[in-house]
């Protein structure tokens, strides 16, 4: 009678579908008021002879049931673990079109390429300060006070003749004041002017270049060679031309044009139908500059360019201001 009563618990264990059910069964069979406790209690009324037989049987079933229960629990736990792992699995090979990665801003990327070229030509990279004094930014560059050429670079002033630098040329002065010739340097960095239209922003970036030869043997031909080579490195197969121009700190001075990258020199809206695009200013260092930094019997060339303008021409960007709007949709195109 009691054996068949226990029989159903063997079936219950086999049929249990989860760990909670196994626990319920354990309490129902082995608990204080469980089936086994009840059966053992019933023994009291049996004869001594029966007692030992019943006890033996009950104990056999007790350990057999416990064994079944433990086995079933292990099986169910394993199944549950596997199910959980399947549910939480991450497919590392899955391609997600939404994954977003950062990239260099086109201005920085362009600046890096410029630096890369001149580094390969043995030019050292120098940095000045964005807040400059009047001497470095103007005076030593042959731009005396009240000289009308200062108007071209009207800018933001602090008191005590301090200002946000209008160009990277003061780094020429800083470098010459702190080192002896020869010098081969470039100076990339931010500059500031009071301008705002489709080709100007109040903050933009320039790369300055300066070469000073201690033997005084630098010529315009050296300048022409390196700039032509550099512009072909940046823009590919373009024509380069030098136009006479004026900068207070170089003499002679030139502006350098490349054949229009949009229309290949045929004439379009971007190049105002001229077929040419102006890309940098340069010249032979004016003797007054060397005098200001107390250099004697030297010669040199200098050049300066706007990085945003280069980035616009390389990436065919129409409005310079869009480079500073932080518009991810626009910037993503240049990754």
Which residues are near ligand PHE by CB under 6 A? 167, 169, 208, 247, 250, 281-283, 302-304
- Pairing type for strands 276-285 and 299-306 reads antiparallel
Question: Using CB atoms, what's the residue nearest to ligand PHE?
Answer: 304
Residue 16 or 254 with smaller CB distance to ligand PHE: 254
CB of residue 97 to ligand PHE, shortest distance in Å: 44
Residue 82 or 195 with smaller CB distance to ligand PHE: 195
CB of residue 274 to ligand PHE, shortest distance in Å: 20
* 218-238: burial string, b at 16+ Cβ within 10 Å, e else: beeebbbebbbebbeebbeeb
Give dist(CA 69, CA 207) in Å, integer: 79
Sheet containing 276-285, strands listed edge to edge, beginning at the edge strand earlier in sequence: 124-125, 183-192, 203-213, 299-306, 276-285, 250-259, 240-247
Residue 250 or 299 with smaller CB distance to ligand PHE: 250
Residue 13 or 280 with smaller CB distance to ligand PHE: 280
Give dist(CA 179, CA 156) in Å, integer: 29
CB of residue 268 to ligand PHE, shortest distance in Å: 25
Q: Give the Å distances, CA to CA, from 319 to 200, 312, 316.
A: 9, 8, 9
CB of residue 293 to ligand PHE, shortest distance in Å: 15
CB of residue 316 to ligand PHE, shortest distance in Å: 24
CB of residue 235 to ligand PHE, shortest distance in Å: 19
CB of residue 219 to ligand PHE, shortest distance in Å: 16
Residue 181 or 306 with smaller CB distance to ligand PHE: 306
Give dist(CA 215, CA 228) in Å, integer: 24
What single string gives the DSSP state of each residue in 199-227?
Answer: TB-SEEEEEEEEEEETTS---HHHHHHHH
CB of residue 154 to ligand PHE, shortest distance in Å: 13
Residue 12 or 284 with smaller CB distance to ligand PHE: 284
Residue 13 or 226 with smaller CB distance to ligand PHE: 226
SS (H, E, C) 143-157: CCCCCHHHHHHCCCE
Encoding tokens for residue 291?
A: 């005098």
Residue 46 or 125 with smaller CB distance to ligand PHE: 125
- Pairing type for strands 203-213 and 299-306 reads antiparallel
Encoding tokens for residue 50?
A: 């029966």
Which of 325, 310, 322 has its CA nearest to residue 108?
310
Give dist(CA 92, CA 89) in Å, integer: 9
């Amino acid at each position: 009678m009691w054996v068949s009563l226990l029989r159903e618990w063997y079936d219950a264990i086999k049929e249990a579908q989860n760990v909670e059910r196994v626990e319920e069964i354990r309490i129902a069979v082995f608990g204080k008021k469980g089936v086994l406790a009840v059966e053992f209690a019933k023994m009291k009324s049996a004869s001594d002879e029966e007692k030992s037989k019943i006890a033996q049987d009950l104990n056999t079933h007790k350990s057999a049931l416990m064994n079944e229960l433990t086995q079933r629990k292990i099986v169910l736990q394993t199944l549950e673990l596997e199910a959980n792992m399947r549910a939480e699995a991450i497919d590392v090979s899955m391609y997600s079109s939404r994954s977003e990665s950062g990239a260099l801003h086109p201005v920085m990327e362009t600046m890096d390429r410029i630096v890369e070229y001149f580094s390969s030509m043995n030019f050292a990279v120098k940095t000045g300060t964005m807040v400059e004094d009047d001497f470095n930014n103007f005076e030593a560059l042959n731009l005396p006070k009240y000289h009308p050429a200062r108007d071209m670079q009207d800018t933001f002033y602090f008191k005590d003749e301090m200002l946000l630098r209008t160009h990277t040329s003061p780094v020429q002065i800083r470098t010459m004041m702190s080192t002896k010739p020869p010098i081969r340097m470039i100076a990339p960095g931010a500059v500031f002017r009071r301008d705002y239209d489709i080709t100007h922003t109040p903050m933009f970036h320039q790369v300055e270049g300066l070469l000073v030869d201690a033997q005084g043997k630098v010529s315009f031909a050296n300048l022409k060679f390196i700039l032509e080579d550099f512009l072909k490195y940046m823009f590919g197969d373009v024509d380069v031309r030098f136009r006479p121009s004026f900068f207070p700190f170089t003499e002679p001075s030139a502006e350098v044009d490349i054949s229009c990258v949009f229309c290949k020199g045929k004439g379009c809206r971007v190049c105002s139908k001229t077929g040419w695009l102006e890309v940098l200013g340069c010249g032979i260092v004016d003797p007054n500059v060397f005098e200001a930094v107390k250099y004697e019997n030297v010669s040199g060339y200098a050049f300066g360019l706007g990085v945003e303008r280069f980035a616009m021409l390389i990436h065919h960007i129409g409005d310079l201001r869009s480079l500073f709007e932080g518009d991810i949709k626009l910037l993503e195109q240049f990754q």
